[in-house]
Structures are given as C-alpha cells and as structure tokens.
C-alpha cells in the first residue's frame, strides 16, 4: 500500500468532549504516519464538530451535510452509522419546540478516492462494527484488500463540507 495511492483521509473530531484529546491525538498521529508511508496521498483534519447539531444550527459548518453524505454511503452499503452517530429529536422543557438533531462521535474517518467516498468509520453491518481503529490497523498491516469490502459512492466533491478554515484543537 505505497506509491501510487490516491486515497484521501478526512478525519473528523468532536471538539466539545473532555478527556478525549489524547485518544484523538493518537488517531491523528496514526493517520499522519500512514500518509508519510504513502498509504494515503493526503490526510487532513477536515473539521471539528460539536456533539449535537440541529439543522438550523448547521448553516455554516456543514456537519449535517457531512452526516447526510456519510449516511448515504452507509445506506448504499447496507450499513448503519449508529450507534456512533445518533439521529433523534430533542425537546425543550417548557416549550413546544422539538428539533431533529444528530449526535456526533468523538472521532470519525472518511476515505475518498477523488470524488468517490470509499468508506466511513465507524459504521456497522448486521455482523459487526467497523471502527476507525479497525480501518487504521488494516492499513498499518498492509491489507490492500480490506477496503474492497465496501462499495464507493460518488459524492461530487473533493474538499470537506466542514469549514477547513476553522482551527482545530488537535
């Protein structure tokens, strides 16, 4: 898994979670090491998202658009993003207001080849959960066929939805 790869790794980190900095940093270091070893042609922290986002709160950050894109990939692959991502409603005490929200994981990884999304982690199928760590371990051991178990989905973009100008804490 070296040399002529065109695989881009986009890492998404949740910035409002205490006690996860070291774990996020370890994942980031592993991704950067894989890029340095030629497994990924490019890697980036595509953005930082908050734990919960409503559709109304997401006008600038693109977190919901990213989630929808991830969900489309999962649906087409017969996978689910849950339990790592959770879509639910949120109500407010003393108000009639109810918002649809997405709860985001502490870390997620999306892999692209040009404008084709190859895979999203974490995800689940009927048999197991595929974690970010599972994906990184497969690349670290040089398993070139591991990613072929997933079908790619054309997303029509080569840049992250999330604002790349936003500085992350990692």
Per-residue pLDDT of 88-135, as tens digits, reads: 876 667 878 777 888 899 999 999 999 999 999 999 999 999 999 999
Q: Is 65 exposed, middle or buried (0-12, 13-18, 19+ CB in 10 A)?
A: middle
Task: Give long-range contacts, CB 8 A cutoff, 24+ apart: 85-90.
Answer: 90/52, 90/54
The model's pTM? 0.86
Mean pLDDT, the chain, as a whole number? 85
List Cβ neighbours of 62 (8 Å cut-off, separation of 6 or more): 47, 160, 161, 162, 163
């Amino acid at each position: 898994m070296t040399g002529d790869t065109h695989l881009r790794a986009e890492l998404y980190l949740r910035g409002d979670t205490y006690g996860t900095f070291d774990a996020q940093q370890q994942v980031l270091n592993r991704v950067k090491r894989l890029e340095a070893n030629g497994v990924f042609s490019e890697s980036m922290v595509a953005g930082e998202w908050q734990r919960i986002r409503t559709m109304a709160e997401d006008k600038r950050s693109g977190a919901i658009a990213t989630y929808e894109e991830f969900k489309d990939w999962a649906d087409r692959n017969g996978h689910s993003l849950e339990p790592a991502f959770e879509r639910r409603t949120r109500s407010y005490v003393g108000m009639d207001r109810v918002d649809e929200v997405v709860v985001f994981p502490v870390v997620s990884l999306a892999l692209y080849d040009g404008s084709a999304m190859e895979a999203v982690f974490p995800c689940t199928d009927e048999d197991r959960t595929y974690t970010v760590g599972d994906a990184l371990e497969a690349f670290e051991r040089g398993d070139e066929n591991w990613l072929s178990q997933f079908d790619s989905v054309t997303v029509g973009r080569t840049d992250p939805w999330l604002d790349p100008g936003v500085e992350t804490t990692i």
